[in-house]
Amino acid sequence: MESLSFPGRLRDRDHAEAPLDATLTFEAEALVATTASGHVQRIPWLGMRLRRSDAGAIECSSGGITASSVDPDFLRALEAAGGNDLANQVASLEGESVANPWVGRLGCTLALGLLVLALLKMPACFTRTTEGIAEEIPYSVDEAIGEFASDNMPVKGGVVSEDVLREAVQTMIDRISPHRSLEEAEFQFRIVENELVNAFALPGGHVVVFTGLLEAAETPEEVAGVIAHELAHVTRRHGIRQVVKAAGLTAVISVTLGDLSGLESLVVEVLQNGYGRDAETEADEEGVRMLVEARIDPRGMARFFERLAEEQEIDMPEWLSTHPDSLRRATRVHELAAAACDVEWEPLDIDWDAVQAALEEL
């Protein structure tokens, strides 16, 4: 492959708030971003998501890593290097129509396979059909949808970079995530200054925690319970299932081929509508399972639900209000915690007084 390099920027989980200058080069299977300090990230062509930023940069993203360049020749070089893996997306960015909808990284074989799968499931209800299709979609699609939605969901409030707060949330995720059921799922989070007593998760592992949740919680275990619930939404792939149900088979094939063009508004609308009560119940149970395996007392989760039930005046936007009755959820969590009676709980190593003090200084 011809040796080309372009000036650009790199954003990953370690540099989410302050992207680094980087040199972008190409390998047979990936785009490579190298910073002046020698930090290297590779973004595979397979599963890569392309978009044009408001500033005109071409952004290449996958798995929580984004490399971008404003060089006018960068997109054409990407097309040459990525080949069929990026053909549809490059054409979309250039404003061209894609004549053959089956051209893409998985080609005719995947399209035919999805069609056969759908036909086999037709005797069942449509919901079961779409859920079966969702299970066949690569997780890289969840990541692409999550990255787009993360940039476009209408979340009010600035991002909080206070170390004490970020370290507290990171400690919770580090304790819980090793017990996830979906190995390829990785998580990144941001804390948003907003009085909402809540958090939410998007496909691909994007988690938003509102400062209102941290302020309302009396112990770190209460927040850990909410976060475990949100991570369960990611690992159970509730987001992609909702998109599949709303989009229909034709759109699903486009998404699977890595082409989100024309679906952007639908994706945001679907995720704003929440995951539905059955998914919320499943997330509660999966969240408790992860908490138990992490030796974090899930009764903190129950206490949080009980407090929500007592404080009905909490203002919550409609797209965050699909959760089942809080008291019923608390009862169920207590039942699941009682079943784990032989577990010795290990408190989270977090100074909660320091967290509350940091919140007061915001």
Q: 15: burial class by Cβ within 10 Å (0-12, 13-18, 19+)?
A: middle
Rounded to an integer, the average pLDDT of 310-319 is 50
Three-state DSSP state, 26: strand
Distances (CA, A) of 171 to 103, 163, 348: 43, 12, 8
3-class SS shares of the chain: helix, strand, coil, % to 5: 50, 15, 35
- Return the closest-CA partner of residue 13 out of 148, 232, 207: 207
Q: How is residue 111 annotated by DSSP?
A: H
Hunting for tokens 């475990």 — which residue is that?
228
Crossing angle for the helix pair 238-256 and 264-272, to the nearest 10 degrees? 170
What does the alpha-carbon distance between residue 67 and residue 327 come to, in Å, rounded to a whole number? Answer: 45
Q: How is residue 258 annotated by DSSP?
A: T
Looking at residue 160, its pLDDT comes to 94
Residue 139: CB atoms within 10 Å:
20
Tell me which of 58 and 248 has the higher pLDDT.
58
Q: Left, alpha or beta for 304 (phi > 0: left; psi -120 to 50: alpha)?
A: alpha
> Where do the domains of the chain lie?
5-93, 149-360
User: In this model, does residue 126 exceed pLDDT 50?
Assistant: no
2.30.29.30, 3.40.190.10, 3.40.920.10, 3.40.50.261: CATH of 5-93:
2.30.29.30
Strand 188-192, strand 159-160: pairing: antiparallel
What does the alpha-carbon distance between residue 169 and residue 185 come to, in Å, rounded to a whole number? Answer: 17
The percentage of residues in the chain with a pLDDT greater than 90, rounded to a whole number, is 38
State which amino acid sits at residue 26: F
> Cα 226 to the chain's mean position, in Å?
16
Q: What does the pLDDT look like over 206-242, one tens digit per residue? A: 999 999 999 999 999 999 999 999 999 999 999 888 8
Q: What does the pLDDT look like over 267-299, one tens digit per residue? A: 677 777 777 788 888 999 999 999 999 999 999
Distances (CA, A) of 214 to 34, 116, 211, 288: 36, 48, 5, 19
What does the alpha-carbon distance between residue 329 and residue 280 come to, in Å, rounded to a whole number? Answer: 10
Residue 170: CB atoms within 10 Å:
13
- Contact between 117 and 249 under an 8 Å Cβ cutoff? The reply is no
pTM of the model: 0.65
Looking at residue 253, its pLDDT comes to 61
What does the alpha-carbon distance between residue 40 and residue 24 come to, in Å, rounded to a whole number? Answer: 10
Q: Which of 47-61, 183-197, 250-264, 290-304 is least confident? A: 250-264
The percentage of residues in the chain with a pLDDT greater than 70, rounded to a whole number, is 76
Strand segments, DSSP code E, in 30-172 are 30-35, 40-44, 49-52, 58-62, 65-69, 159-160
CB contact burial 302-325 (16+ within 10 A = b; e otherwise): bbbbbbbeeeeeeeeeeeeeebee
